Structure 1
Amino acid sequence: MSLSSKEPVLFVGYGPVGSEAARSLRRLYPDLPFVIAGRRLEKAQQLAAEVGHAEAMTADIMTPGLGLPKGMRFSCFIPMIKDRALHGMTLAEEQHIPYAAFSEYVYDFAPFIARHIHNPKGAPLLLLGHLHGGSMPVAALELARGFRSIDKLTVSAIFDPVDFGGGGSASSNMVTGNFGVPSYLVRRDGKWQWRRNGSETLSITSSDGRALPAHGFALPDVITLANETGARSVDMAFALDKTARSFRGEGISHEIFVEIEGERHDGVHARERYELEDEAGYAAMSARGAVLCMERMMGLAGGPPVGPGLYNPETLLDPAHVVKRMQQFGTKIRKL
């Protein structure tokens, strides 16, 4: 895709994550045209005016065609709200443009995959229910490069109650997808299992040493991490509590921990723990990850535009590039 393309990027949703995604993509590509759409035109207009070079429209993800003007074409479509009726995916298939199932959990992917099987040449379909818009599991792959084999890989996150999803649909999705769902997917000793929340005691040790009660994560990151690293056991957990920075009274932040246990390339058995912290919070990190996927799918970075097919973030993004981008955006990464 050329940056001079007249076909705009379509954003449906202007909540915390959607707004941050539009802002982040605008910072990277000042001349890329946008359409900001949603049920409340006034909110769409506010965001369009803020990011510039954007048109605001009324749209409803639950309406066929989304209620958008007939014949209008787009270069990419990533709905920042759940596409429960698949009307957004239908629009992408009709226009053969990149589409991402964003804010979807492991158990939500079946309708999208089945639909793609019936129309594999319709559109590039990205399954993007991963933590931080896919950037977190891909960054974890970069941190794991030093290992020849991995016995156990764990990703855990601490969500500050004030920051939790930034409110709006992102926050409600987190609650529905984890607190409200009884089971979560793990890989234990090479076997996939669904575990019931409450069946085992989970906790996260914060960077300042506090042990925080945790819950299982119903996200597809475990699949990405297991497939790419061959780890025999992969777990995810999250805690809704104050991060170390917040606990010190220094303001909110979002903390993620990556723990890797296995054999390094030098033959030594080791256990390594990394912390990723971002003072911008969860919504901003999710938006940035989505933007990295968007620019790759459209051919703005990393290669030509992708063709029709089924994609995961790790099949699109280079781990080293993701870590570099995250640090440029302000994420601090350190080995504990």
Structure 2
Amino acid sequence: MSIDPVLLMGGSGAIGHQTARALRAACPDVPLLIGGRDLAKAQQAAERMGKAQGVVIDPHADDLGLGARPVSAVAIFYMDHALAGLRYAQKRGVPHLSISSGIFEIAPEIATYMHTPDASPIVLGYEWMAGATTVSTLSIAATFSRVHAISINALVDEQDTGGPTVAADFEHLNKMLPAALTRRDGAYIWREGEDSKVRFNAVDGTQIQASGFSSIDVVGLAAATGAPNVQFNMATGVSSTRRQGKPMSTEIIIELDGEGLKGEPLHTRHAIIHPAGAAPLTGLSVAMTLERLLGLDGQPPTPPGLYFPYQILDATGFLKRLEEEGGELRRL
């Protein structure tokens, strides 16, 4: 099928490159526009990706400086504080996906959506790895009749920098919101200080010191499962694979407590692992979300609405693609 280019704003970075790679694997003919402030950098990235063109983005222009150039979707890989990409997508009636804002910064996007809810599908892609965590967690939760507690513990290898844009985003998030939004006994609280510090076991059993992190995964998983206790913690250190003398990886430990389908007590512990780090895992999630939004998977395109990634992504298809890349959802 013929399709207009997908605009990747900030697409010259590591996650943009991995998104393009994942899109190419499933939909090799989809054209891309790599947007950025530096035309030369955008053009170089486009050349590496193939079937792509580099363009300069003007966030102050209603048309982003693109004129009448058609696009089929907009994906943003940096914090778009002016919501330039969102306004552009709504005016064009095309899907919008942003992955970099914090949980405390969603109000402007929600307000913009509420004023024109029928304009286009809007995805709040701020979940950890843009949906990889929630999709996997909910696939596990299907084996429970009731979920009492969900604990997500993400270990990012200290060598897995993700590029300057990712580093700047995390610096901003940590500065603006040091407390961690958590659901405890059915109420939302903010963990801070000693209350936010936890320990968890990595895939190889090594005990890791972590701190609470305000990820939108918490509210999404609480709403989807009804679990009265949901927390998200993050640590930076040495990944399990690198401790074994192998290349660094990214790992996300998922623990669920509750009742099984027959009412029996049930506790599970799984890990999402990607052998190449955070950027490829995030890129896979973004690519598959774009495929679903545009109907590139053979199903009808996603209608206008406000979505979490886990409402867009198909768990079976996602885990299959993850396995094809060498990653896995492993029961521990």
Q: Is the 8 A contact 1:16 1:168 kept in 2?
A: no
Distance 1:123 1:241 in 2: 40
Distance 1:109 1:64 in 2: 22
Q: 1:76: which partner in 2?
A: 73
Distance 1:246 1:119 in 2: 48
Q: How many residues align?
A: 331
Distance 2:176 2:275 in 1: 27
Change (3 A) 1:240 1:302: farther
Q: Is the 8 A contact 1:197 1:216 kept in 2?
A: no
Larger displacement relative to structure 2 (124-133 or 310-319): 310-319
Superposition pairs of residues 149-228 of structure 1, within 5 angstroms: 149-164=146-161, 166-178=162-174, 181-228=177-224
Deviations 1:259-285 (A, max 9, x none): 011111132202111122111101111
Q: Is the 8 A contact 1:124 1:308 kept in 2?
A: yes
Q: 2:48 aligns with which of 47, 50, 57?
A: 50
Which contiguous aligned blocks of 4+ residues in structure 1 show a shift greater than 6 angstroms?
A: none
Distance 2:217 2:264 in 1: 27
Distance 2:312 2:296 in 1: 12
Superposition pairs of residues 1-336 of structure 1, within 5 angstroms: 3-5=1-3, 7-13=4-10, 14-60=12-58, 62-65=59-62, 67-164=64-161, 166-178=162-174, 181-301=177-297, 303-336=299-332
Deviations 1:174-201 (A, max 9, x none): 2332465221211111111122244343
Q: Is the 8 A contact 1:66 1:88 kept in 2?
A: no
Deviations 1:199-236 (A, max 9, x none): 34312211222221111121110112111111111111
Q: Is the 8 A contact 1:142 1:323 kept in 2?
A: no
Deviations 1:22-49 (A, max 9, x none): 1211221111111111111122112211
Change (3 A) 1:100 1:242: same
Instruction: Compute the RMSD of aligned alpha carbons.
Output: 1.6
AA matched with 1:149: R
Larger displacement relative to structure 2 (140-149 or 188-197): 188-197
Q: Is the 8 A contact 1:148 1:265 kept in 2?
A: yes
Cα distance, 1:102 vs structure 2? 1.7
AA matched with 1:31: D
AA matched with 1:161: E
Q: Is the 8 A contact 1:65 1:88 kept in 2?
A: no
Unaligned 5+ residue runs, structure 1? none
SS of the residue corresponding to residue 258 of structure 1 reads strand
Cα distance, 1:325 vs structure 2? 2.1
Cα distance, 1:116 vs structure 2? 1.0
Normalised by the length of structure 1, the TM-score is 0.94
SS of the residue corresponding to residue 195 of structure 2 reads coil
Deviations 1:51-99 (A, max 9, x none): 2111111114x32236423111200001111111011111101100000
SS of the residue corresponding to residue 171 of structure 2 reads helix
Q: Is the 8 A contact 2:180 2:196 kept in 1?
A: no
Larger displacement relative to structure 2 (202-211 or 225-234): 202-211
Cα distance, 1:332 vs structure 2? 2.2
Q: Is the 8 A contact 1:204 1:239 kept in 2?
A: no
